[in-house]
């Protein structure tokens, strides 16, 4: 643990440096912060304040202030979403320390948090949302990124962390509405609306809607998305609240799996010792076919939430969610490229293509309930949580491989050109046809113990029963696996003053062998225990003022018995990994005119129990060692403001073989804001201000996304 100790020593000095560099007023603000907090002050938790600082999250299910949560949680508020004109989860992760985005094969959100790659660790209002698609943000109040294993609160998976979207709720005592229209330099545009109307004195109706059309720098890229989310809620009695919502999402867009790597001109294979990089000169080229490369999603999601207060210190909430998802994904993509060298085979100046069509139908029924008691046993304070969750998820997934007539194979080599000519093909044969039926049941208990004014302990454990049956129609197999796992969580908090907390925590999660999407269960893996994740973390949180927070943490995250992809054919081997790192973030309002959200992370992710090269452990894929981000907005007058954003990401490897390295990049964004009057405002966001040539995300060695050139987005908001 000597290296962990080094991280701890570096934590304190880094926090001080960032505080002085990014916030010169930080030290001076300490006295002000102390005056705002007192031992007997009641902290009213609202979940979010105006600006870029949130004060609570779903991390403990008890509406606990972030300063009393022994875990790193990054939050992007509604105001920051609007100021940066963020439209997708990937946009948010660019400004989140310790997390990076994956390409997701051009059809889904895929992220890496603390070295752990996932397509399923997404939640909405604390309920699992694990289908593969691009999640819109039109109806979202804030987005929470909870880092470290989270099975105690959120269940299976979540080994590196989870992303939770908190939706907008009806407001009973206010009528308001807004319409937003936006268009960018490539011709992409969207319209969104938000309308809230009271129903009587204690209830309200709210509806959010979105229509969006896609375009970017890539050839033939287009598509559209439509979504609507009506919600009704309010007091049904003095003690009971009810909320009912329905969301429909219809997404139809082109699939772009990016560019292949540029194989070495000296004829040697790409390797750990001599890695390749992305192919140059094809920033706009679609390595597929327009019309064929397409993904569609239709989703229907119904949610009911009930909250009831039995007494002043005993309350209960229950949520039930039903979701029906129909997903199609069809693509042609590159598997390698050969340049002008006679020693390279099969053909110089060529690219080899592959493809398939994939369909998924899924029905989710999930119910959860939480009983929360606040009280004392003698001089010891408690917030006791008792909870349950059960659900049923039925999935059908099928894949048909491509067949090229000219090669009589599922791959074909074609000339490398700015416009790729794809020969005749069909999708005749199933390579996968599976149905899965999952039942899960969970019980959990957690106690937040307050020992005087300076010490708090958070401890809990969750029991999960995960029972899956798989009908492998393609291979004529019936597979079944039942796992029963306990997931503990423990945290100790020391508060030398009310606005400062220093914590240490331990948490553990598991991932069943059926994987994120219930597709990896085989006769071999059905006999293997789940993967496990263990996280040790030390950190501090300092509310410099009630509107400005500085947080930092060091951690070690171990993953055991991980199925690691070793080639493009889908073959895997069992391995492990260790990610050690530290991160720091400053968020909130520095002055009445200046807001900021800045962060930095340093991640050292290594594979364990895997092959080494020259005695060195291979690095985890899609884990940049350094990630830094800054977004700041300054109000020059009541009407005029400007924003500036910078993101930096060091180089990363595309896959666990470490043979293709994606270069580092720094991107600068900017924005101008003008309020015409109380009802109308406009803003201009410019992404990639200096036209950096970069590669923001990757899926594997031959699917590397090219970044957009400079792009301006003009947005107008009319409020009423």
> Each residue of 300-311: pLDDT tens digit?
999 999 999 999
User: Could you give the C-alpha distances from 505 to 14, 71, 211, 500, in angstroms and in order?
Assistant: 21, 7, 43, 16
Whole-number Å distance between alpha carbons of 264 and 341? 10
Decide which of 47 and 164 is more confident.
164
Phi, psi (degrees; rounded to nearest 5) at 105 = 55, 25
Burial 35-61 (b: 16+ CB within 10 A, else e): eebeeeeeeeeebbeebbbbbbbbbbb
Reading the block at residue 27, the tokens are 């030290």
End-to-end CA distance of the chain: 58
pLDDT above 70 (res 125): yes
Q: What is the pLDDT of residue 567?
A: 53
Long-range contacts of 556-559 (CB under 8 A, 24+ apart): 556/1, 556/4, 556/580, 557/114, 557/115, 557/116, 557/148, 557/149, 557/159, 557/160, 557/533, 558/533, 558/534, 559/115, 559/116, 559/159, 559/531, 559/532, 559/533
Reading the block at residue 316, the tokens are 């209960």
Residue 177 in contact with residue 720, Cβ under 8 Å? yes
Over residues 604-608, mean pLDDT: 90
The tens digit of pLDDT for each residue in 86-113 reads: 999 999 999 999 999 999 999 999 999 9
Burial 9-23 (b: 16+ CB within 10 A, else e): eebeebbeebbeebb
Over residues 43-65, mean pLDDT: 73
Q: What is the pLDDT of residue 268?
A: 67
Q: What is the pLDDT of residue 269?
A: 72
**What is the reported pTM?**
0.91
User: Could you give the C-alpha distances from 177 to 194, 209, 680, in angstroms and in order?
Assistant: 5, 12, 12
Reading the block at residue 29, the tokens are 């603000």
Query: Which residues, 6+ apart, have CB-to-CB distance to 128 below 8 Å?
Result: 122, 154, 155, 364, 366, 391
106 DSSP β-pair partners: none
Q: Are strands 99-101 and 161-167 parallel, antiparallel or unpaired?
A: unpaired
Decide which of 524 and 188 is more confident.
188
pLDDT above 60 (res 11): no
The tens digit of pLDDT for each residue in 372-410 reads: 999 999 999 999 999 999 999 999 999 999 999 999 999
Q: What is the pLDDT of residue 28?
A: 37
Over residues 518-546, mean pLDDT: 93
Q: What angle do CA 108, 71, 668 make, to 5 degrees?
A: 50
Q: What is the pLDDT of residue 22?
A: 39
Q: Identify the helix (H) or strand (E) that includes residue 431.
A: strand 425-451
Q: What is the pLDDT of residue 25?
A: 39
10 Å CB burial of residue 678 (0-12, 13-18, 19+) is exposed
Grade residue 38 by pLDDT with cuts at 50, 70 and 90: very low
pLDDT above 90 (res 215): yes
Task: Kindly report which listed range (18-32, 310-324, 420-434) carries the lowest average pLDDT score.
Answer: 18-32
Q: Could you tell me what percent of the chain has a pLDDT over 90?
A: 80
Q: What is the pLDDT of residue 350?
A: 87
Q: Are strands 161-167 and 122-124 parallel, antiparallel or unpaired?
A: parallel
Over residues 162-189, mean pLDDT: 96
Decide: helix, strand or coil at residue 12. Answer: helix
Domains and CATH numbers, the chain: 2-698 (2.40.170.20)
Reading the block at residue 543, the tokens are 């509310």
pLDDT above 70 (res 693): yes
Decide which of 622 and 38 is more confident.
622
Taking every pair of Cα atoms in the chain, the longest distance, rounded to a whole number of angstroms, is 83
Over residues 67-86, mean pLDDT: 96
Residue 118 in contact with residue 128, Cβ under 8 Å? no
* Closest by CA position to 653, among listed 564, 585, 717: 564
Whole-number Å distance between alpha carbons of 67 and 76? 16
Handedness of CA 370, 376, 377, 382 (dihedral sign): positive
Grade residue 520 by pLDDT with cuts at 50, 70 and 90: confident
SS3 for 52-115 is CCCCECCCCCCCCEHHHCCCCEEEEEHHHHHHCCCCEHHHHHCCCCCEEECCHHHCCCCEEECC
Q: What is the pLDDT of residue 42?
A: 31
State yes or no: cis peptide before 346, omega within 30 of 0: yes
Over residues 13-21, mean pLDDT: 39
Q: What is the pLDDT of residue 30?
A: 41
Decide: helix, strand or coil at residue 452. Answer: coil
Q: Could you tell me what percent of the chain has a pLDDT over 70?
A: 88
Query: Which residues, 6+ apart, have CB-to-CB distance to 694 below 8 Å?
Result: 663, 665, 667, 688, 706, 707
Query: Which residues, 6+ apart, have CB-to-CB distance to 138 below 8 Å?
Result: 192, 208, 209, 210, 227, 229
Q: Please give the mean pLDDT across all residues of the chain.
A: 90
Q: Identify the helix (H) or strand (E) that includes residue 22.
A: helix 2-22
Grade residue 613 by pLDDT with cuts at 50, 70 and 90: low
Grade residue 39 by pLDDT with cuts at 50, 70 and 90: very low
Query: Which residues, 6+ apart, have CB-to-CB distance to 281 below 8 Å?
Result: none
Whole-number Å distance between alpha carbons of 552 and 536? 14
């Amino acid at each position: 643990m000597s290296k962990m100790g080094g991280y701890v020593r570096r934590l304190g000095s880094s926090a001080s440096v960032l505080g002085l560099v990014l916030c010169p007023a930080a030290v001076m603000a300490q006295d002000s912060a102390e005056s705002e907090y007192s031992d007997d002050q009641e902290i009213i938790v609202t979940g979010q304040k105006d600006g870029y600082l949130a004060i609570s999250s779903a991390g403990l299910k008890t509406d606990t202030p972030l300063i009393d949560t022994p875990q790193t949680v990054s939050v992007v508020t509604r105001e920051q979403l609007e100021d940066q004109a963020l439209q997708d989860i990937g946009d948010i992760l660019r400004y989140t320390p310790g997390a990076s985005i994956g390409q997701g094969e051009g059809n889904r959100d895929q992220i890496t948090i603390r070295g752990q790659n996932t397509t399923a660790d997404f939640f909405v209002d604390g309920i699992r949302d694990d289908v593969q698609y691009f999640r819109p943000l039109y109806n979202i109040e804030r987005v929470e990124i909870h880092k470290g294993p989270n099975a105690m609160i959120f269940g299976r998976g979540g080994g590196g962390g989870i992303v939770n979207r908190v939706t907008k709720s009806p407001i009973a005592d206010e009528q308001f509405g807004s319409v937003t229209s936006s268009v960018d330099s490539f011709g992409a545009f969207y319209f969104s609306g938000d309308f809230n109307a009271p129903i009587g004195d204690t209830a309200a109706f709210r509806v959010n809607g979105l229509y969006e059309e896609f375009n970017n720098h890539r050839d033939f890229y287009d598509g559209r998305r439509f979504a609507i989310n009506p919600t009704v809620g309010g007091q049904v009695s003095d003690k009971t609240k009810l909320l009912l919502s329905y969301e429909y999402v219809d997404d139809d867009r082109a699939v772009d799996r990016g560019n292949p790597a540029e194989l070495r001109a000296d004829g040697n294979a790409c390797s750990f010792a001599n890695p390749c990089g992305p192919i140059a000169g094809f920033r706009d080229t679609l390595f597929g076919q327009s019309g064929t490369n397409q993904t569609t999603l239709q989703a229907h999601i119904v949610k009911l939430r009930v909250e009831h207060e039995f007494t002043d210190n005993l309350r209960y909430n229950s949520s039930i969610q039903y979701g029906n998802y129909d997903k199609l994904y069809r693509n042609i993509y590159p598997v390698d490229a050969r340049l002008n060298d006679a020693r390279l085979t099969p053909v110089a100046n060529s690219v080899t293509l592959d493809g398939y069509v994939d369909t998924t139908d899924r029905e989710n029924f999930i119910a959860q309930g939480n009983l929360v008691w606040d009280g004392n046993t003698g001089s010891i304070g408690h917030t006791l949580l008792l909870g349950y969750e059960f659900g049923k998820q039925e999935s059908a997934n099928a894949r048909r491989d491509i067949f090229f007539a000219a090669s009589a194979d599922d791959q074909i080599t074609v000339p490398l050109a700015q416009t790729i000519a794809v020969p005749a093909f069909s999708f005749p044969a199933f390579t996968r046809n599976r149905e899965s039926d999952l039942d899960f049941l969970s019980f959990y208990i957690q106690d937040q113990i307050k020992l005087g004014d300076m010490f708090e302990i958070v401890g809990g454990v969750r029991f999960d029963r995960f029972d899956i049956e798989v009908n492998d129609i393609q291979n004529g197999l019936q597979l079944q696996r039942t796992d029963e796992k306990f997931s503990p969580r423990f945290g100790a908090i020391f508060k030398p003053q009310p606005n400062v907390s220093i914590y240490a925590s331990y948490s553990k999660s598991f991932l069943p062998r059926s994987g994120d999407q219930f597709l990896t269960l085989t006769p071999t893996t059905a006999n293997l225990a789940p993967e496990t994740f263990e996280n040790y973390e030390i950190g501090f949180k300092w509310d410099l003022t009630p509107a400005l927070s500085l947080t930092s943490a060091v951690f070690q995250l171990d993953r055991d018995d991980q199925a690691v992809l070793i080639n493009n054919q889908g073959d895997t081997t069992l391995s492990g990994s260790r990610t050690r790192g530290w991160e720091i973030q400053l968020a909130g309002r520095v002055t009445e005119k200046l807001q900021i959200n800045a962060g930095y992370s340093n991640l050292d992710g290594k594979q364990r129990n895997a092959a080494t090269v020259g005695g060195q452990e291979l690095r985890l894929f899609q884990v940049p060692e350094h990630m830094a981000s800054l977004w700041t907005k300054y109000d020059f007058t009541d009407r005029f403001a400007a924003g500036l954003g910078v993101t930096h990401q060091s180089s990363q490897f595309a896959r666990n073989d470490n043979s293709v390295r994606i270069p580092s990049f720094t991107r600068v964004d900017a924005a101008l804001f003008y309020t015409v009057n109380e009802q109308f405002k406009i803003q201009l966001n410019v992404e990639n201000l200096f036209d950096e040539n970069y590669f923001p995300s990757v899926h594997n060695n031959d699917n590397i996304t090219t970044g957009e050139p400079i792009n301006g987005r003009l947005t107008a908001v009319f409020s009423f």
